[in-house]
Amino acid sequence: MSDDIKGLSLGFVGVAIFSVTLPATRIALTGFDAVTVGLGRAIVAAAVAAVILTVTRQPWPRRHWKRLLVVGLGVVVGFPLFASIAMESVPATHGGVVLGVLPLATSAAGALFCGERPSLGFWLLALLGSALVVGFAALQGAGALQAADLWLLAAVVSAGTGYAIGGELSRHIGGWQVICWALVVTLPVVVPPVLWVLPAVAWDAPATAWAAFLYVALFSQLIGFFAWNRGLAIGGVARVSQVQLLQLFMTLGFAALLAGETVDATTLAFAVAVVATVAAGRRMPVRRAE
């Protein structure tokens, strides 16, 4: 199996795990506030990550701690918090549509921070894929921007930057090590706001809310990154990030499974079109800094 295929396969596994994040966040918010869901999950994930790092005796990556902090601020603090705030007022399907521009944001961050140089054809296909997602949003009535959309766009910038730098850093210290260390180094940022809202936490929240919270803590915030970071490291940030174009439609699928929503023929048609752009994008050259 070529590195290209390995990277895309691992990226797909990560995206499949991440695609449950918005529906699970919506469910978790039925029992908890946005800060608890958005940042409290990082504390749970960091505790597990610390155990993994200790058991495997991972050396402290002194040379990379600044970039680890940037990764953490993007994917441990920014994205989860901003997405949780947005999910308080819009459905997961709406959030998934807005997050459809995340592959383009990740590719742009890869070009800005990781020395990748996608070809013009790659950028045109990335824009086409994003335009398809936006067209789907318009067709489904996602309409004008609202406050939640601005929070979601902030989440996109945070995640795109964290994904790109995390993927590049994974080439040096390993994919699972990146997310584990990122969780640990951002604890000083995460703990104070969680302690602030702790007295108001609804410990008697429904079991479904607890289950959803544990999912976003253990899978969305930790395990998904094991596959995702490794995929970005092997296949390249720009190329593998395009697999995220599928995330919207997987999110819709999980929303149907968890919330009983209907997925119509139009959604499936757009999914096929997006898959085609991802497949075509694989064939476009992307130069990588060695």
Cβ-based burial of 56 (10 A; exposed 0-12, middle 13-18, buried ≥19)? exposed
DSSP H or E stretch at residue 192: helix 187-197
Average pLDDT (163-177) is 89
Residue 253 scores a pLDDT above 70: yes
198: three-class secondary structure by DSSP: helix
pLDDT band at residue 213 using 50, 70 and 90 as cut-offs: very high
Annotate 236-264 with DSSP letters as a single string: -HHHHHGGGGGHHHHHHHHHHHHH-----
29: three-class secondary structure by DSSP: coil
Least Cα distance to 37 among 47, 27, 46 occurs for 27
51: three-class secondary structure by DSSP: helix
Q: Hey, what are 154's tokens?
A: 């902030």
- Tell me what pLDDT residue 196 has: 96
DSSP H or E stretch at residue 118: strand 117-118
Looking at 57-146, list the stretches that DSSP marks H as alpha helix, in order from N- to C-terminal side: 65-72, 79-87, 92-98, 102-113, 120-139
* Rounded Cα–Cα distance for residues 54 and 61 (Å): 14
* Rounded Cα–Cα distance for residues 14 and 243 (Å): 10
Question: Of 20-24, 126-130, 181-185, which range is least confident?
Answer: 126-130
Instruction: Return mean pLDDT, the chain.
Output: 87
Looking at 2-87, list the stretches that DSSP marks H as alpha helix, in order from N- to C-terminal side: 3-18, 21-28, 34-35, 41-55, 65-72, 79-87
Q: Are the C-beta atoms of 94 and 251 separated by less than 8 Å?
A: no
Most confident of 102-106, 119-123, 161-165: 161-165
Q: pTM for the whole thing?
A: 0.86
Estimate to the nearest angstrom the gap between the alpha carbon of 128 and the chain centroid. Answer: 21
Average pLDDT (18-24) is 94
Q: Hey, what are 25's tokens?
A: 């966040």
Average pLDDT (99-115) is 79
Q: Are the C-beta atoms of 280 and 125 separated by less than 8 Å?
A: yes
99 DSSP assignment = G
The Cβ-side half-sphere exposure at 57, using a 13 Å CA radius, reads 0
- Tell me what pLDDT residue 29 has: 95
Residue 259 scores a pLDDT above 90: no
287 DSSP assignment = E
Q: Hey, what are 104's tokens?
A: 């383009």
Cβ-based burial of 16 (10 A; exposed 0-12, middle 13-18, buried ≥19)? middle
* Rounded Cα–Cα distance for residues 117 and 123 (Å): 10
* Rounded Cα–Cα distance for residues 24 and 27 (Å): 5
